[in-house]
Amino acid sequence: MADDRIHPRASLFATELATWCDALEAELDATDEGAPAAPETTPPPELKERILWQIRSQTPSAPPRRTSIGMPDRGLATMAWALGVAASFMLAAAFAALWYATRADLGATRTNVAQLEGMLYDKDRDLQAKEAELAWLKDPRVLLALLKGPESNSTAKARLLWHPESKQGILWVSGLPPLPLEKSYELWTFVGDQPVPAGTFDAREGGATVIPISPQENLGEAPVKFAVSVEPKGGVPKPTGAIVLVGERF
Amino acid sequence: MSTPADPELFARIAAGDRDAFGLFYDRYAPVLFGFCVRILKDARDAEDVLQEAFIQVWRDARRFDATRASVKTWLFTIARSRALDRWRSRHSIEQRFSAAPDESLDRAGAGDGGQETAALRDYVSRCLEKLSENEQAVLRLAYFDGYTQEEIAARLNEPLGTVKSRTRSGLTKLKAIAGEGGAGRG
């Protein structure tokens, strides 16, 4: 390796490598019999219930072959094949008896399969949604705007991502206090000096709020300014209340 | 009443015994949760990873091969892998949003999976070259092939204790190399 150039993303790679090192060290600490006892932290009690609920309709799946944790195992392939053939004969002999014994369970098994297929479908749909979201975030056309609160509430801030073609956006908000029930926060986009309502939201106490912003069909071009004001519940067509966040896109 | 040892417990889990799985969870969840928190430094993320890891244990219990690793090692390897996946995902998003605006947009365009992975592997490989041959050997198998310590010991025909010792010393050096700027300076 004669090439000593520094990769432009070397600092990110260094962080990733250091984290990998920390993780492997932590694993050695936890699994090495000679090491001091690894620290224990009790997980929330409901987590166990959640896991047990999730496995309620599943059974451990059969191993496809004798490779469990990534080790290449071609040397056993022939033996596995021979064993497989032998097992096939044995299975065939036992099949008839098993058939009668398991007929009663067939309906339940079908139900389980249907449940699993449903779960698989849900997971697949979640995955597709997350992939679409990730693709959206990676899109270089997505614009970024940082919004800040006034001096009286300098902890309030927000980060807005905006796609100028789909005219959709996502807003992360923090530091805004919850409002009375009859009020809500309203986001405004500006093309020129004209504010256009872009959705209302409520703030969570002490936490960040993430809101999706609906497509702004009436915007002919990408907005350059954004603001958040306190408005009557449900929003109004033109701003009437105090501005609590304001910022421009980069 | 004596509690069953790991192999016995795991045999029952592989047979679909949910009570055994509950005992297994009680035995390992606290230390595994602490492990996940240590890596992720976030209890919510650690909960998610813990859940994913135990679900995978249940689903793959019959694939577990006791000749290749202990149950405990297998469990921690699963959790480490999932914790690192979670960390990468979170870190990637944090990087994108905490970067300066111009840099953020640059990164948005730079996140092409294949090239990124190849560049990272090249970076790690260069860092590893700065270690001794023995340390390189164990850490390459751990990083690039995902082998457990037991598998590395078997593959290199070395005692497990030796492999662990080399892994630890190599990790210490590797972190120092990464901390001082990594592969390009040396």
A182-205 confidence digits (pLDDT tens):
899 998 888 778 888 888 888 876
**B76 contacts A70? CB cut-off 8 A:** no
Question: Which B-chain residues 77-136 have CB contacts (< 8 A) with chain A?
Answer: 77, 80, 83-84, 87-88, 91, 93, 95-97, 101-102, 104-105, 108-111, 116, 119-120, 122-127, 129
In angstroms, the CA B15 to CA A43 distance is: 26
**A40 contacts B30? CB cut-off 8 A:** yes
**B80 contacts A23? CB cut-off 8 A:** yes
Residues B39, B79, single domain; the answer is: yes
Within-domain flag for B44: yes
At A222 the pLDDT is 72
Amino acid, single-letter form, for residue A24: L
**B18 contacts A55? CB cut-off 8 A:** yes
Q: Which domain holds residue B175?
A: 112-179
A52-83 confidence digits (pLDDT tens):
888 877 777 766 544 444 444 555 566 767 77
Task: Give the domain-ending residue among B110, B135, B151.
Answer: B110
* Nearest CA distance, B109 vs chain A (angstrom): 5
Residues B57, B116, single domain; the answer is: no
Residues B65, B101, single domain; the answer is: yes
**B39 contacts A140? CB cut-off 8 A:** no
Q: Global pTM?
A: 0.52
CATH code of residue B125: 1.10.10.10
Please state the domain extents for chain A.
143-248
At A148 the pLDDT is 93
Residues B67, B120, single domain; the answer is: no
**B108 contacts A138? CB cut-off 8 A:** yes
Whether A21 contacts B131, CB under 8 Å: no
Residues B89, B37, single domain; the answer is: yes
Residues B89, B141, single domain; the answer is: no
Domains in chain B, number: 2
Residues B45, B61, single domain; the answer is: yes
At A144 the pLDDT is 86
At B103 the pLDDT is 46
The partner residue sitting opposite B164, judged by closest CB among A32, A44, A138, is A32
As its CATH architecture, domain A143-248 has Sandwich (2.60)
Task: Give the domain-ending residue among B88, B110, B132.
Answer: B110
Residues B35, B91, single domain; the answer is: yes
B-interface mutation test, from A3, A57, A65, A68, most B Cβ less than 10 A away: A68
Task: Give the domain-ending residue among B77, B95, B110.
Answer: B110
Residues B59, B92, single domain; the answer is: yes
User: Complex ipTM, two decimals?
Assistant: 0.80
* Nearest CA distance, A220 vs chain B (angstrom): 23
Within-domain flag for B184: no
At B121 the pLDDT is 87
For chain B, where are the alpha helices, taking DSSP H only?
Answer: 6-14, 18-40, 43-60, 71-98, 101-110, 113-128, 133-145, 149-156, 160-179
